[in-house]
Structure formats: C-alpha cells, structure tokens
A and B are shown apart, each in its own frame.
Chain A
Amino acid sequence: MRVTKDLVAASATPIVLGILAEGESYGYALLRRIGELSGGELDWTEGFLYPLLHRLERLGHVEASWQAVAGERRRKYYRITKQGRAELAEQQRQWQTVVGALKQVWPQFIPLEGTA
C-alpha cells in the first residue's frame, strides 16, 4: 500500500510536531520513528523531511540547535516550541474532525479488495 502524496503532505506537520512533543530529536531518529509508527508504510525521503523541518523552524514551530550528546556525534536537534504545541493542538482538533467524520461514513472498515 502506498499513502498518496497529498495525504503524506497533509499529515507531515502533525506527525513531526507530535514526535517532537515526546522529546527533542534529530532527523535520522525522526525518520526511524516515523517508520516505526507507521509499520514502515510511511517512507519519507530526506528531501522531504529536512526542508519540512527547516520550514517549521522558520515558522517558529520548532527550534534547532547543534548539540553533542555524550559519546555521540554533534547533531542538529529539533525541539518543539510553545507555538509549535499550539499548532499541534490546532492540527489535532482538525484531524479529529476529519477522523470522526470518516468513522461515521465508514462504520466498518470497507473490505480492501473484492467489494461485492
């Protein structure tokens, strides 16, 4: 199964902000976490993730700093800001509306193949 481009684009911001709300992180770890969360279905490219992070940084939703955690390389860590949390809350509300509506029109999951 492939998640369509539009859906990936729409869900990217809330996913990244959501992961960063768990704690600060860096690019590679973010990609791995996203893979984990989606069971490997969401396969973002670097060319997608880093520009997105830079955009969020520019908008002020996240802030970044180069840090060296003991015993590891210096890395660019991203952490969510207060404004980012507000944005996340707003996104959550919107997604809940969408998911709620979808749940009602799809009371049971429609069988994926061979609809009668």
Chain B
Amino acid sequence: MTVMDGKDELEDQFVQWREYVRRRPELAESDADELEDHLRDSVDELVTLGLSRDEAFLVAVKRMGGLDDLSREFAREHSERLWKQLMFTGEPGDPVKKNRDLYAMLACATGAAVSIKVPALFGLSLDDIATSLSLFALPWLAGFLLWRRRPAPWVYGVLVALFALGAVVANAYPAGDDSQSIGLIITHLPAALWLVLGLAYVSDDLRSSRRRMDFIRFTGEWFVYLVLMMLGGGVLIAFLYGIFDAIGLHADALIEDWVVPCGIVAAAVVGGWLVEVKQGVIENIAPVLTRLFTPLFTVTLLAYLVVIGWNGRGIEVDRSTLVMFDLLLAVVLGLLLYSLSARDPRAPRGPFDVMQLALVISALLIDALVLYTMAGRIAEYGTTPNNVTAIGQNIVLLVNLAWSAWLLWGFVRRRSGFAAIERWQTLYLPVYAVWFWTVVLILPLVFGFR
C-alpha cells in the first residue's frame, strides 16, 4: 500500500478514532464497528463529491457529532451496559490488561487473607494483634495500586518505610492493654496508614491537585463498597451458620477465625479494585449520599442551635461528647468534601452551595461552644492522651472548616472561584497525615505510654 499514502493515513485516522470510541463504556465493540462502517460510507460519499480523503474524514467525523452526545444516546438505550462495565472495564480495548488487573487484585486479596492468619501460626489471637489489623490489609491494597501506577523507585522505598514504621508503633510501643495510648493507636493507626495509601494512590502525579481529589473520591467510594461487601458478607455468614447448624455442626469457630478476618482484609483489597476499574463509569455513590444528607444535617444542626439559644442550655462536655463533636465535624467535612468532589467546577452557584455554607457555619458555631466548655475542663483536670487528641483533632478540623466557610462565603458572594475551595481541601490532606502520625508516633512517647 506504499503507493497510496493518502489511504494509509486515513487508516491511521480510523484507528485513532476507534480508540476514542472504545474509551466510551456506553459503546460496545459492535457499536464501534457499526459506527465505523457508517463513517467509511460517509467518507466515500464525500470523496466522490470531490473532497480529498483527509477533508472527507474531518467532515464525516464532524457530521457524526460529538462522542459525548452520541454515547449519551446510546447509554439511554443500553443502560445495562454501564453496570456490566463494573466487571469488564480496564484500559479500553485491551482485554489482556483487564485480566492482568484482575489477577493482580486476586493475588493481593489472597495475600491479605493469608497474611492475617500468619500470626495464628505463632499462637497469637486476633485480640493480640488488634493494633496492627490494618497492616494486614492496607499494604496489600497499596501494593495493588502501585502495581497499576508503576511510580518512581523512591516511592516504593518511602511506602515500605512508612508501613514498617506503622508496624513498629503497633508492636514495639510498650503501651499497656488498658492504657489510653493503645486505644489511640488502634483508632488512629488505620487513618495514618490510609493516608500512606493515599501516597501510593497519587504516586504517579504527586503534585496534581486533581489527583488528590481523586484520592478523596477513591476513599469515599471504597468505603461505600466496603460497607456493601460487609452487608453481603453478613448474609453469607448467616447462611453459613444456618445450613451447617441444620446438620448439627456449629460453624462458630470457622466463622470467627477464618471467614470474618480473612473476608474483611480481602474485601478491603477488592473494594479498592472495584473503585479503580469502575472509575467514571457510573455516577459515584458517595456524592449522591452527600446530596441526600447535606440538607438533613443542616436542618438538624440549625435546630440544635435554635434549641440551645432558646433555653440557654450549655453543652455538658466530657471526653466522649467531645469525641462525638469531633466526629460530627468530620461528618460535616465529609459532606462538604464529597459534594465538592462531584461538583462540576464550572457550574454556577446554586442554593445547594448556600446550604453547604449554612451547614458549615452551624457546625462551627456548635463547635465553638464545645471548645469553650472543654478549655475550662482541661484547666481543671489537666491533660491526658485522650483529651489532647480530642482537642487536637477538633482544632485540625476547625481550621479546615473555618477556612472552607470563608472560601464558600466568597464563592456564594461571587468573589472567588470554586477552584480555590478545591485547592484548599487538597492542600490540607498532608495536614491530616501529619496529625494522625503525631497521634500514633509522638503522643504515646510524650505521655509515657499512659
């Protein structure tokens, strides 16, 4: 075909065009065939009208209209395909890579399930390794992500070092079983390690703010998947118990020692895989949930403020209420983050933005009341690992939300763009990492493992 260069070039363009089409999960292979055939007919006709092959291709593609519109129409007729994508998307048109992803995930999930049984070989029960449970799941998930990302070699080094550090904290710190320090390590080490996992997630583009936003999305979706899988697992366990009970065998030990621990760590990896392969295929779940719950939380918090103002009742603060208010701030932040993550940055301001602002401000007001009372308490009773953590957590969240409120206010008033809010949230991620690592690494030392 060397004689007909024009024709060769045209074939190249068809190949490229097909590649674009195949990226659309809505368009199946046979649709692509059909559309390509259509395009070729169109090109042929235009050529007979006197256009050159290149021109004809351009005109024909232009006539076909944007792929966005096209795939939307196809999606309407073939909505079921979107769900199938859950299982079968990978890199478009590359079944080998899809399968390799699947095998890598299976290897990592199996690795996680096996690794959690290793301590049992040394006679350690699950309670004995409570501090390091996350170390049996997250490194495997990180491994899967690294396998997909293939980052620079130093990233591997840093991740191994950080997970090793986590292992040291979990096992070598001489904190007593009843100490507050051990409780803090159990609750905060998973969070600290999750942010290490975040490093693996963004490892292919460390500075990109979009990538970090992707990690925030990933976190939400992963959590939703994990919860769903746990529900499914619960059903499985109920049947497992029931059917074996029917033949007079009690499966308690099997369930407690094998199914639950292995299932949970494997589910953590599978969840990560699901989020990775289904990216951009269906509307994400976490943002939908935030849309539902933002108004409800706003109303609840406003009602709470009104009640406090009405009968002048002060908040009775002890440590557990402070933890609750910390969690409340975290939930408000989560609602904010996930609506941000799904928001089209170019969309105009709407009532939902105002509602978010109301939500954040009411949360801030409530928290100011809590902190005010709490300060008095610390002055009275002195510091403990728990109340220092609770206060610190509160401050970390408060700073984020206060500045978010300011940015949201500017956004609603049309003074600043939406991008500023997004950038603030992604810039803040390392702050959480520093904070969680401070709690697990430094606080126990400072308080002498109390």
- Same complex: yes
Where the two chains meet, the residues of A that have a C-beta atom closer than 8 Å to any C-beta of B are: 26-29, 45-48, 50-52, 54-55, 58, 66, 73-76
13 contacts between A and B (CB under 8 A): A27-B37, A28-B37, A28-B38, A45-B69, A46-B65, A47-B74, A50-B31, A51-B76, A51-B78, A52-B77, A58-B77, A74-B37, A76-B34
Answer whether A54 and B78 are a contact pair too, CB < 8 Å, given A28-B41, A28-B42, A73-B37.
yes
Distance between Cα atoms of A75 and B39 in the complex (Å): 12
| Beta-carbon nearest neighbor of A31 in chain B | B38
Count of residues in B whose CB is under 8 Å from the partner chain: 20
Q: Is the CB of A50 within 8 A of B76?
A: no
Interface string of B62-92 (1 = CB under 8 A from A): 0011000110111011100000000000000
Q: Determine the chain A residues whose CB is within 8 A of the CB of B73 once the complex forms.
A: 45, 47-48, 50-51
Distance between Cα atoms of A28 and B41 in the complex (Å): 7
Answer whether A46 and B64 are a contact pair too, CB < 8 Å, given A51-B74, A51-B77.
yes
Q: Determine the chain B residues whose CB is within 8 A of the CB of A58 once the complex forms.
A: 77
Where the two chains meet, the residues of B that have a C-beta atom closer than 8 Å to any C-beta of A are: 30-31, 33-35, 37-38, 40-42, 64-65, 69-70, 72-74, 76-78
Distance between Cα atoms of A48 and B63 in the complex (Å): 13
Chain A nearest CB from B69 CB (Å) reads 5
Q: Is the CB of A75 within 8 A of B37?
A: yes
The contact of B65 among A47, A55, A66, by CB within 8 Å, is A47
Binding site secondary structure of chain B? helix
User: In the complex, which of the residues B31, B37, B74 has the most CB atoms of chain A within 10 Å of its own CB atom?
Assistant: B37
Chain A nearest CB from B7 CB (Å) reads 15
Q: Is the CB of A46 within 8 A of B37?
A: no
User: In the complex, which of the residues B34, B40, B64 has the most CB atoms of chain A within 10 Å of its own CB atom?
Assistant: B34
Q: Is the CB of A46 within 8 A of B41?
A: no
User: In the complex, which of the residues A45, A52, A55 has the most CB atoms of chain B within 10 Å of its own CB atom?
Assistant: A45
Q: Is the CB of B42 within 8 A of A45?
A: no
Q: Is the CB of A76 within 8 A of B35?
A: no
Distance between Cα atoms of A47 and B77 in the complex (Å): 11
| Beta-carbon nearest neighbor of B77 in chain A | A51
Q: Determine the chain B residues whose CB is within 8 A of the CB of A47 once the complex forms.
A: 65, 69-70, 72-74
Query: Which 10 interchain pairs have the tightest Cβ spacing?
Result: A47-B73, A51-B77, A28-B41, A47-B70, A28-B38, A51-B73, A76-B34, A55-B77, A54-B77, A46-B64
Distance between Cα atoms of A54 and B27 in the complex (Å): 12
Distance between Cα atoms of A26 and B77 in the complex (Å): 19
Q: Is the CB of A46 within 8 A of B76?
A: no
Distance between Cα atoms of A28 and B42 in the complex (Å): 8
Answer whether A76 and B42 are a contact pair too, CB < 8 Å, given A46-B64, A47-B74.
no
Q: Determine the chain A residues whose CB is within 8 A of the CB of B34 once the complex forms.
A: 27, 50, 76
Q: Determine the chain B residues whose CB is within 8 A of the CB of A54 once the complex forms.
A: 74, 77-78
| Beta-carbon nearest neighbor of A45 in chain B | B65
Chain B nearest CB from A62 CB (Å) reads 14
Distance between Cα atoms of A64 and B434 in the complex (Å): 61
| Beta-carbon nearest neighbor of A75 in chain B | B37
| Beta-carbon nearest neighbor of B69 in chain A | A47
Q: Is the CB of A50 within 8 A of B37?
A: no
| Beta-carbon nearest neighbor of B41 in chain A | A28
Q: Determine the chain A residues whose CB is within 8 A of the CB of B74 once the complex forms.
A: 47, 50-51, 54
Q: Determine the chain A residues whose CB is within 8 A of the CB of B37 once the complex forms.
A: 26-28, 73-76
Chain B nearest CB from A115 CB (Å) reads 36
Q: Is the CB of B76 within 8 A of A27?
A: no
Distance between Cα atoms of A50 and B78 in the complex (Å): 11
Distance between Cα atoms of A45 and B66 in the complex (Å): 11
Answer whether A27 and B38 are a contact pair too, CB < 8 Å, given A45-B65, A46-B64.
yes
| Beta-carbon nearest neighbor of A46 in chain B | B64
Q: Determine the chain A residues whose CB is within 8 A of the CB of B33 once the complex forms.
A: 66, 76
The contact of B30 among A26, A29, A76, by CB within 8 Å, is A76
Distance between Cα atoms of A73 and B74 in the complex (Å): 24
Chain A nearest CB from B74 CB (Å) reads 5
Q: Determine the chain A residues whose CB is within 8 A of the CB of B31 once the complex forms.
A: 50
Q: Determine the chain B residues whose CB is within 8 A of the CB of A55 once the complex forms.
A: 77
| Beta-carbon nearest neighbor of B40 in chain A | A73
Q: Is the CB of B35 within 8 A of A50?
A: yes
Chain B nearest CB from A94 CB (Å) reads 23
Q: Given contacts A28-B38, A28-B41, A45-B73, could you give 20 more A-B pairs where the C-beta distance is less than 8 Å? A: A27-B34, A27-B37, A27-B38, A28-B42, A29-B41, A45-B64, A46-B65, A47-B65, A47-B73, A48-B73, A50-B73, A50-B74, A51-B73, A51-B74, A52-B77, A58-B77, A66-B33, A73-B37, A74-B37, A76-B37
